[in-house]
Homo-oligomer: A and B are copies of this chain.
Amino acid sequence: MMNTKAKGAPELPLNTILSGDCVEVMNALPENSVDLIFADPPYNLQLRGDLHRPDNSKVDAVDDDWDQFDSFEVYDRFTRDWLKAARRILKPNGAIWVIGSYHNIFRVGAALQNEGYWILNDVVWRKANPMPNFRGKRFTNAHETMIWASKSEKAKYTFNYEALKELNEGVQMRSDWVLPICNGGERLKDANGEKAHPTQKPQSLLHRVLIGSTNPGDVVLDPFFGTGTTGAVAKMLGRDFIGIEREEAYIKVAEERLGRVRKLDKEALEVTRAKRAEPRVPFGQLVERGMLRPGEELHSLNGRYKAKVRADGTLAQADIKGSIHQVGAKLEGAPSCNGWTYWCIKRDGKSIPIDAMRQQIRQEMR
């Protein structure tokens, strides 16, 4: 990897991957020298047995050695140690991002606060296409949490408000980001065609992080570099990176990847935003929001049928039960039915199609 000199920090091994334990490696770097740290530490998943899909195929779980910790206490010590080392090398106005799931993120967040970092936001990555919950025992685990924190309460951290606003079609960027998981051509494969790393993050996530909280020429360090998404996006966006990684196999894949990355020219950085489709509004939300009361009666547009609303957003008419679409279809003897335009509610003596209520919700969502 090429070594570039940075102003005021001549010893920094820029645009390199350093091999070894991240605490030791960070402790060997000069203090107050890094602008941003992005960290994707082990999540400490604590999986029990195997999990199979309904079609009996086995879920390829994260059971790597690097994710095994004996107890919360051991994990807390690990977390405290790397956060302490990270804070020393951060510039006074530097900041950190840490990503995690409910298994570890609460411990990470508490440790950040205990070490003197100042939390600026927690940001939720809402996955557009998460893995479902196969046993129907919990909510689909559809998000991960990122914590953004400055080195101290007084730090003048970098925040490119206008650039993020542009990325978000002219309205200020919120703390919840909808982005797809990393798959397809972006997902790195090893020689056997298997995924090279079990938890490769999407470049879109790092793109938003780096556009929002660094400037071109800034130094970005990733202490859990893996296959180098942070480095790839940093290089593309004209930031310098330092990667630290323990596993030689990951380093090899990352170096090949970084060799293929080219820095973008200014024009290429401009992203064209796709238009969003109308958001789907479940009928149940009308009930949850109190726009319809469970027990209220809907009537069909043609006036022939009535059905009662239930607390879970289904309808019931005698022993016919189901969604607004299913009950409509059943009553009409039709193969399908658009319940939104079929069902109406009486309000002040007037019939209102429930679709009007859906429009109202969509209005609020904008």
Contact = CB atoms under 8 A, between A and B. Distances in A.
Contact of A365 (B119, B143, B178): B178
A188 interface: no
Contacts of A179: 285, 288-289
Contact of A142 (B107, B167, B176, B271): B176
Contacts of A141: 121, 175
Interface in A303-351: 308-314, 316, 321, 323, 332, 334-337
**In the complex this chain forms, how many copies of it are found?**
2
Interface stretch (A1-9, A21-29, A124-132, A250-258): A124-132
B106 A120 contact: no
A272 B321 contact: yes
A203 B313 CA distance: 15
A122 B282 CA distance: 21
Contacts of A129: 364
A312 B102 contact: no
A288 B208 contact: yes
Nearest to A216: B311
A42 B278 CA distance: 37
Given A174-B140, A336-B52, A113 B72 contact: yes
Interface string A129-168: 1101100111111110101100000000001111110111
A362 to B, nearest CB: 10
A105 B114 contact: no
Interface residues of A, number: 104
A284 B166 contact: yes
Nearest to A269: B311
A42 B22 CA distance: 37
B264 A293 contact: yes
A231 to B, nearest CB: 16
Nearest to A273: B312
Contact of A311 (B161, B271, B309, B323): B271
Contacts of A269: 294, 310-311
A290 B187 CA distance: 13
A140 B312 contact: no
A297 to B, nearest CB: 10
Contacts of A312: 160, 162-164, 166-167, 211, 271-272
A169 B272 contact: no
A103 to B, nearest CB: 8
Given A175-B140, A204-B289, A314 B272 contact: yes
Contacts of A301: none
Contacts of A136: 161, 172, 274
A145 B145 CA distance: 10
7 contacts: A103-B119, A106-B110, A121-B139, A123-B139, A130-B174, A137-B159, A265-B295
